[in-house]
Amino acid sequence: DQQVKQNSPSLSVQEGRISILNCDYTNSMFDYFLWYKKYPAEGPTFLISISSIKDKNEDGRFTVFLNKSAKHLSLHIVPSQPGDSAVYFCAASPTDKLIFGTGTRLQVFP
Amino acid sequence: NAGVTQTPKFRILKIGQSMTLQCTQDMNHNYMYWYRQDPGMGLKLIYYSVGAGITDKGEVPNGYNVSRSTTEDFPLRLELAAPSQTSVYFCASSLVGGNTEAFFGQGTRLTVV
């Protein structure tokens, strides 16, 4: 039973354009959401997070939007850069644990 | 700045063998986690700990054991290795749980043949 879902396994975007990565969750008890970025042969690294009491959080080129009624969040990257090419994981927290989605591989091409 | 250190980086095990994956962190974090990553399957939580002496099961605990005798160390034990345990294993730590940034180790690639 996948509680956190990323339905797009891959996304290809041109450099300079916007990348939008989506994530859906099923458990309404999740109160915190995070995005992690992973390069090959490395561990995931934290990117940005959002509390369930907010609907938007912005950090430079990265913005996360949360729609609690739809149990949906999205990560916007603008403008996209070649260095953003990586696998992005959405994660949700019911306080003590971190539950991850299956990931979306983003490729930013020139 | 070591952060989270995992050893070994690679290991090949025969079916039925046992081994311990080591994980240590130097950030004085209370929470520690073990995940496995299978191709196309994301990260699955195996076990986690909220502090020394306290551990709990995650999504896929079968075939694994953990202990947390100190704040720094959180080893993962495989008692009878099976091919289904072939995966990349990540250890992580965070200060106060899932609503704070978790720091991950580099991973251990385990193959069971």
Q: What share of chain B is helix, strand, coil (3-state, %, to 5)?
A: 5, 50, 45
Asked if A78 is an interface residue toward chain B (Cβ–Cβ < 8 A), one would say no
| The pLDDT of residue B28 | 95
Q: How far is CA A4 from CA A37, A100, A104, in A?
A: 16, 6, 12
Asked if A90 is an interface residue toward chain B (Cβ–Cβ < 8 A), one would say no
| Buried b / exposed e along A60-90 (16+ C-beta atoms within 10 A) | eebbbbbeeeebebbbbbeebeeebbbbbbb
| The pLDDT of residue A34 | 96
| The pLDDT of residue B105 | 97
A44/chain B closest Cα distance in angstroms: 6
Asked if A57 is an interface residue toward chain B (Cβ–Cβ < 8 A), one would say no
Facing A43 at nearest CB: one of B42, B44, B90:
B90
Band (pLDDT 50/70/90 cuts) for residue A25 is: very high
| The pLDDT of residue B46 | 97
Please list, in sequence order, all residues whose beta carbon lies within 8 angstroms of the beta carbon of residue A53, skipping any fewer than 6 positions away.
none
pLDDT in tens, chain B (113 residues): 679 999 999 999 999 999 999 999 999 999 999 999 998 788 999 999 999 999 999 999 999 999 999 999 999 999 899 999 999 999 999 998 877 899 999 999 999 99
| The pLDDT of residue B99 | 77
Determine, for residues A41 and B106 on separate chains, whether the beta-carbon distance falls below 8 Å: yes
DSSP-derived secondary structure letter, B102: -
Question: Is the bond preceding residue B8 a cis peptide, omega within 30 degrees?
Answer: yes
- The answer on pLDDT for A2 being more than 80 is no
What are the two backbone dihedrals, phi and then psi, of residue B86, each rounded to the nearest 5 degrees? -65, 120
Whether B33 contacts B48, CB under 8 Å: yes
**Tokens standing for residue B76:** 């993962």
Q: How many CB atoms lie within 10 A of CB A100?
A: 24
Q: How far is CA B79 from CA B18, B29, B63, B76, B90, in A?
A: 5, 27, 7, 10, 18
CA–CA dist A89, B42 (Å, integer)? 8
| The pLDDT of residue A95 | 77
User: What residues does A6 pair with on adjacent strands?
Assistant: none
Q: How many CA atoms lie within 13 A of B32 on its CB side?
A: 33
Handedness of CA B68, B74, B78, B82 (dihedral sign): positive
